[in-house]
Structure 1
Amino acid sequence: MSTFVELVEKRRSVYVLGTDSQYSKKEITDRIREVVKQVPTAFNSQTTRVVVLFDEANNKFWDHIYDVQKDILEGDMWDLMSGVMTGAKNGIGTVLFFEDLDAAKKMPTQGTRTEAYKQNNNANAQYAVWLALAEIGLGASLQHFNIGYEQGFDKATREMFNLPETYEMIAQMPFGSVEQEIGEKEHIDADVQVKVFDK
């Protein structure tokens, strides 16, 4: 078992994915379920909903994203992101992260504070799942295609998988075996990033 700091260092954005894993789809899903269950949420609101896609469901999702984004992204951005979309189909699967707006409404907050807590809840789940995947040797990246509940951008995804209307898509995490060399990560100065005061 990795120490926590080693695990944090191991988690990186991986875009070239494969299907080589000793873990079954059930084992991966069970791990994700357990991690999401234990993630802290504001007021224990448990607003985050996670959908795990494998095989044809994964391909169907990324084909849809590709078809939509080809009419939106242009030039260098399309060159960069189209590879992420096609590469996602080469992996084992994708984790879709949603917030259940009905559950979010039950938090004893309003307006921007509810939005902040909702985003924090989801971010906690995203990071925890990413670490869990890294711990079993799988690479992943975090993407934000077709998000926009108010604009209806994620409606087609809900319809594709028969998800409740109250599910707002926050992010997608394609994952699989690591099929690329991971370079060194650059860091800003630690004293700039973390300041300490004792008086």
Structure 2
Amino acid sequence: MSTFVELVEKRRSIYVLGTDSEYAQKEIETRIREVVKQVPTAFNSRTTRVVTLFDGANENFWNHIYDIQKEVLEGEMWDMMSGIITGAKNGIGTVLFFEDKDAVKEMPAQGIREEAYKQNNNANAQYAIWLALTEMNLGASLQHFNVGYEQGFDKGTKEMFNLSESYEMLAQMPFGSVEQEAGEKEHIDTEVQVKVFNN
């Protein structure tokens, strides 16, 4: 079994995905549920909502993203992103990350603090699930297509799966077997990233 640090090192953004896995869909679903249940949130507010897509639901979602983004992105950006969308559709599934705006309003915070807590809550779930998928030898990446609650960009996704209007989509995490490893990753000196003071 990997140590925590080894698991953190193993987690990479994987864009070329397949469906070869030793884990059944139900096992993946159960792991995601277990992780989300334990993820910390500000004031134990539990504002994050997670939707997991498999099979036809996954394909339909990414077809929807493809149809919209091909009208938005152009040139090299479309060339790059269309490949990511295709890779996502070829995987086992996708985790959609939402924040329930109604639940967010119940937190004892307003303005910039409310936004920070909301983003932190969701980020905790994103990273925890990413590590859980990595532990299951599944590759994943974090995407941000069709996000924009105020502009209604995520309206089509909510309609597709009959989700509450109060759900705000923040990210998507397509996952599957690793069909192409990630390249070398550059790091900066930890002395720059991490400061330590004793007095």
TM bracket (short chain): over 0.9
Q: Trace 1:24-173 onto structure 2 (pairs within 5 A).
A: 24-173=24-173
**With structure 1 as the length reference, what TM-score do the two structures score?**
0.99
Q: Displacement of 1:181 after TM fit? A: 2.6
Give the partner amino acid of 1:90.
Answer: N
Alignment match, 1:183? 183
Give the partner amino acid of 1:190.
Answer: T
Give the partner amino acid of 2:171.
Answer: A
Alpha-carbon distance between aligned partners in 2 of 1:160 and 1:153, rounded to the nearest angstrom: 13
Q: Secondary structure at the residue paired with 1:15?
A: coil
Give the partner amino acid of 2:176.
Answer: G
**With structure 2 as the length reference, what TM-score do the two structures score?**
0.99
Q: Secondary structure at the residue paired with 2:139?
A: strand
Alignment match, 1:8? 8
Structure 2 runs not aligned, ≥5 long: none
Give the partner amino acid of 1:63.
Answer: N
Misfit runs of 4+, over 2 Å: 181-184
Alpha-carbon distance between aligned partners in 2 of 1:184 and 1:96, rounded to the nearest angstrom: 27
Contact preservation (8 Å) 2:14, 2:181:
no
Residues 64-100 of structure 1, C-alpha deviations (whole Å, 9 max, x = no match):
0000000111111111100000111110000000000
Structure 1 runs not aligned, ≥5 long: none
2:44 matches 1:23: no
Q: Percent identity?
A: 80
Q: Displacement of 1:184 after TM fit? A: 2.3
